[in-house]
Every structure is written in structure tokens, then in C-alpha cells.
Structure 1
Amino acid sequence: MKVTRIKKLMISGISVVTNNEFEMSEENGKIAALWEEYFANDVYKKTFDKANSDFMYGVYNDYESDARGNYKITVGVEVTKPKNAIVIEDKKYLVFTKQGELPMVVVELWEEIWDYFEKNSEYERAFEIDFEKYAKENEIEIFVSIK
């Protein structure tokens, strides 16, 4: 785990609104279906102004409140122009990394993150824009916005 600052990152893709309670049940969860839709509809090929990056992202924003409220998740890629993109500028993040089999490693790392913030007061979550970066096969980095 490390602290980093993101100077500027723009992500474009497709989105859905959900919450963690929905995601804990197979019949109500929307995130897995969003990833499936992204690939099934070749959204990557339809995305304009893609950056020279091989990374996929899952971006969480528009938090209603905290980890219990609704939020928007976007599955996408980095782009070079802000039109129709989520723009992350000058934000401070706590970065968590984990290796393992997708998609279970994502769930496991989010559980570790929730546990970390429940038990530690060194950093406080900002609930602004958090994101998952799929950097390598079977490795994920989760950037959690902090105050």
C-alpha cells in the first residue's frame, strides 16, 4: 500500500448505478453484467480518443454518501480528451495491490480495503473518485481517494 497523487487521468466507457448491498447478492448485482456488456458490445472499439494504454479501469464516483450508499461505476479505458469522460485531477490516493484470479481477487481486495479503513484512522476515505486499474493479468491496483 502506498500514497500517490494522480495529476490527470480521463476514463471513458459505460456506466451503471449500484450499491454494495446489491453487489453482495448474485441476482441484484450489476457490476459483473456491466463488464460483460462492455466486452460483448465491443465498447473499446467504439471509444474515441483512446490513450496509448493497455489498461482497463473500473471507476467508482458520484457517491451518494459512504460505502453503504449508491454510486456510479464505469468500465472503460483511458482517453486523451475530456468529452464524455470521467476526469480525475489532482487527487490523493491510497493504492492497494493484489494478485490472484479475476474476478475473485477484486472482491477480496475490496474486502481488505473496507477492513483497513474500519480499523485504521491514519487515512480517511474521501468518497470522491475511486478506481480499479487492471495493470497485468491476474493483478489489480485499487486507488482509493483520501482526504
Structure 2
Amino acid sequence: MSSQVKELSTAIACRGISVRTTNLAETSFETAKLGRLWQKFYQNHVEHLSEGEDIYGVFHNYESEDLVGAFDVVASWNTANHEDNDKSSAELVTVTIPAGKYLVFTEEGRMPNTVMNAWEKAWEYFHNPDCAHTRTYNVDFEHYIGGNLEYGQLDLYIGIE
């Protein structure tokens, strides 16, 4: 795992399906929503994407700046790569990843373990008293390189000041 500061020079408009959850809810099979969100995304939307197209998991609308507050997650694709011909679907939402500064944690391997490992490294980093960066709690996102939700590279972008 590695991390580096990256400046996102332009915003990325994404479209996909969304849930609101908490980290606590995600620790129990009965209350976890993210696995079902990604399963639904994979079953209903991946087939409409080009092979190898990048996929984004966008985290936003943070209720608080700690691990107990609720937040929204959007399983999505970059709208720049698509015509908006799916206006009829009421379940689809649009979210914008803002340009700005991000600390990026990169992992490679089998999903969802790779995703969990990246988030654990990020939480560990930001909870260290010697942490050199401050999270914005505005928008964070998972970038699935090449659109592979089973095995591949994941870049976790955490918004920083």
C-alpha cells in the first residue's frame, strides 16, 4: 500500500445508485448496505458500461467528522463517458467529485478485501496524532481502475485541506 497527495484539477461528474449508511451499520451483516449496493450496481448497471471503464464509489454528505456519523455512498460511473439516455430511472443520482487536494491510498488485490484494507490504512493514518493532513469530510471516493470489482487496483481518494 502506498499513499501520495494528488491534486484533482477538474471535477468529475458521476451517476449511479446511492445508499445512506454508517460505519457501525457496515460491521453487521444484518444492517450492512454497501455490499448490497455494489451487488445491485454490478447486476443492473455494469453491463451498460464499456469494458474496462473506471468505476467510482463516492462518499459524501457526511453527518459528522468521526466514524459514527451517517454518510451517502454512490456506486457510479463518470458521466463524461456516456450520453444521458437513462433519464427515466428514478433510482439514479448524480454527484460531483470536486477538484481539489486528495491523499490517495493505493491497493491492489481481490475485492472487497482491497477496499477494506485501503480504508483501514486511511483511518489509521488520519487518527495518528502526527498526521500531516486534515480531512475535509466533503467528498472522498474509491476509484476502481479498469472497472474491475473483483480483482484489480483501487485508489482511495480522501479529501484534504
TM-score tier by shorter-chain length is 0.7 to 0.9
2:141 is equivalent to residue 131 of structure 1: yes
> What residue is the counterpart of 1:2 in the other structure?
4
> What residue is the counterpart of 1:88 in the other structure?
97
Evaluate the alpha carbon distance shift between residue 33 and residue 52 of structure 1 in structure 2; reply closer, same or farther with a 3 A threshold.
Answer: closer
> What residue is the counterpart of 1:118 in the other structure?
127
Q: Which runs of structure 1 show a deviation greater than 4 angstroms over 4 or more consecutive aligned residues?
A: 50-53, 81-84
Q: CA deviation at 1:51?
A: 9.4
> What residue is the counterpart of 2:22 in the other structure?
19
Contact preservation (8 Å) 1:11, 1:77? yes
Separation of aligned partners in 2, 1:79 and 1:105: 25
Name stretches of at least 5 consecutive residues in structure 2 with no aligned partner. Answer: 88-92
TM-score, normalization by structure 2: 0.80
Separation of aligned partners in 1, 2:98 and 2:118: 24
Evaluate the alpha carbon distance shift between residue 43 and residue 109 of structure 1 in structure 2; reply closer, same or farther with a 3 A threshold.
Answer: closer
Contact preservation (8 Å) 2:62, 2:138? yes
Matches within 5 A, 1:62-77: 62-66=61-65, 67-77=67-77
Q: CA deviation at 1:101?
A: 1.0
Separation of aligned partners in 2, 1:131 and 1:100: 18
TM-score, normalization by structure 1: 0.87
CA RMSD after TM alignment: 2.3
Give the counterpart of 2:156 among 113, 121, 142: 142
Tell me how many residue pairs correspond in the alignment.
Answer: 143
